[in-house]
Amino acid sequence: MGVVKRRLAIWGSLLALLAAGIAYALRPQPIQVDLAVAEIGLLRVTLDEEGETRVRDVYTLHAPLRGQLQRITAEVGDVVKAGETQLAQIEPAPPAFLDVRTEAELQAAVEAARAAHNLAAAELNKAKADLTFAEGERARARQLIERRTISQRTLEDAERSYHVAQANLATAEAALKVREHELHQARSRLLSRQEIRSLREDCECMPVTAPVSGVVLQVMRRSEGVVEAGTPLLDIGDPTDLEIVVNFLSEDAVRIRPGQRAIITDWGGEDLNAVVRRIEPFGQTQVSALGIEEQRVDVILDFADPTESWRSLGHGYRVDVQVILFEGEVLKLPLGALFRQGEEWAVFVAAEGRARLRPVAVSQRNSLAVEIREGLVPGERVILYPSDRIKDGAAIVER
């Protein structure tokens, strides 16, 4: 009997130990979590976008007239002075080549002008003969009037005929000169390029000088050739007078105001300060890299730092711009600690090894942190990125 009791006691102890081990193994385990501390710190809310530097006032030099542009030797970066530095020369353009029909028409025009010239020469000879005859008639009339063999009226007729003949001679001489000029004009239309070049002694070039002082930013037309009036040749500007243009989405641009501070980053040097000067009053429809139409607005900024700090920047350089919408010392948390609880924001506060659900009121935020207006005090620790396993009152342990 004593042996049986002893065996029952041994087996009972073993079963109790086994049950205790199973219970211990199946007990609820604390959930490992990452914690963050609510603390007072600097919170900066910005709108980030790529921007581009540009010279504030760019002057484009255009060809003032149509002609043969000589090769432009100015290089990008050359310093120019207003009204003194010659940048280009334009000479009269050579005539166009003549096709067979046009050449035949011009040859016919020359022959017509030559015939008209011959006709005018014949008219001049006739006028000279008439004048000679009228002069003889006037001399005879004057002799006869002295003898009183003709009337005074006959003398006056002879005088009038003489003056008319003089006028006709002057008219014929003028007409001959007109026909000579017309013949020269018709012949000049048939001049070849080689004949025109041989007749021209010096280059009747028009110099094109810099309209403003500055630096050559771009040469759009360098090679020699015929250009039309208004053809852009060069861009001139002052590289020390830069501004920044940033193309924001319209829904972001409406949050920006003139005078707001901005930070220029990732341009190849230390961060720079800038100030918003103007928000353009019109938007532009652009297509993104994903093929989505977007409304974008240009925002213009001025550098706030001394010129020496950004002197290495030039026209058309890429920069990253952060327009500061809010900046201040606030109670903040990492954004990953918050989640939605109905219509409100909430966090899990770590207190005595347990997760405690607590609603909070938030205000300013950026991509990393958020301002806590109500619900937390500095120094409290909250759970980062809470999973669906975490409930109010769940046991937790810091990972």
The domain 27-43+330-398 having CATH identifier 2.40.420.20: the answer here is yes
Rounded to two decimals, what is the model's pTM?
Answer: 0.65
- Residue 2 has a pLDDT of 61
Domain range 59-95+202-237, its CATH number among 2.40.50.100, 3.40.50.2300, 3.40.50.2000, 1.10.10.10 = 2.40.50.100
Residue of higher predicted confidence among 6 and 152: 152
pLDDT tens across 289-335, in order? Answer: 888 899 999 999 999 999 999 989 988 999 999 999 999 999 999 99
pLDDT at 145 exceeding the cut of 70: yes
Q: Is residue 113 very low, low, confident or very high in pLDDT (cuts 50, 70, 90)?
A: confident
Query: What b/e string do you get for 304-331 counting C-beta neighbours within 10 Å, with b at 16 or more?
Result: eeeeeebeebebebebebbbbbeeeebb
Q: How confident is the model at residue 203 (pLDDT cuts 50, 70, 90)?
A: low
Q: Provide the pLDDT for residue 239.
A: 86
β-pairing verdict for 225-227 and 67-69? antiparallel
For the segment 30-73, what is each residue's pLDDT rounded down to a tens digit?
888 999 999 999 999 999 999 999 999 899 999 988 888 889 99
Task: Please tell me the predicted confidence (pLDDT) of residue 252.
Answer: 93
Which pLDDT score, from 0 to 100, does residue 23 have? 64
211/37 Cα distance (integer angstroms): 63
pLDDT at 3: 66
- State the alpha helices, DSSP H only, in the chain: 2-25, 100-146, 152-188, 193-199, 250-253
Choose among 285, 304, 291: nearest CA to 244: 304
- Whole-number pLDDT of residue 264: 95
Across the chain, mean pLDDT equals 87
**Phi, psi (5° rounding) for residue 12?**
-65, -40
- Determine the pLDDT at residue 143: 84
The residue ranges of every structural domain in the chain are 27-43+330-398, 47-54+239-327, 59-95+202-237, 100-191
Please tell us whether the domain made up of 47-54+239-327 is placed in CATH 2.40.30.170: yes
